[in-house]
Amino acid sequence: MLLGSTAYDWRCVSYSRAGPTYFHVHVQAVCRWTTSQPATIDRFVNYYSARSWQCRV
């Protein structure tokens, strides 16, 4: 879930009766999982663009 407009505003969310709980997204782990490569580098092109993350192998 995107809670703002910068590259670091992504959060995972878990819903329960008490309300939503937000967790930090570990971008390097996401890159490793999506590329199936253990050696990846996560980076963003523009801090002010939340959708500018890249995974480099």
pLDDT tens sequence across 1-57: 899 999 999 999 999 999 999 999 999 999 999 999 988 999 999 999 999 999 998
Report d(CA 12, CA 30) in Å as an integer.
12
What pLDDT is recorded for position 39? 85
Task: Provide the whole-model pTM.
Answer: 0.73
Q: How many CA atoms lie within 13 A of 34 on its CB side?
A: 14
Strand pairing category for 41-44 and 19-24? unpaired
Decide if 11 contacts 3 (C-beta within 8 A): yes
3 state SS of 57: coil
Report d(CA 14, CA 20) in Å as an integer.
6
Record the tokens describing residue 44, joined without a space: 């963003």
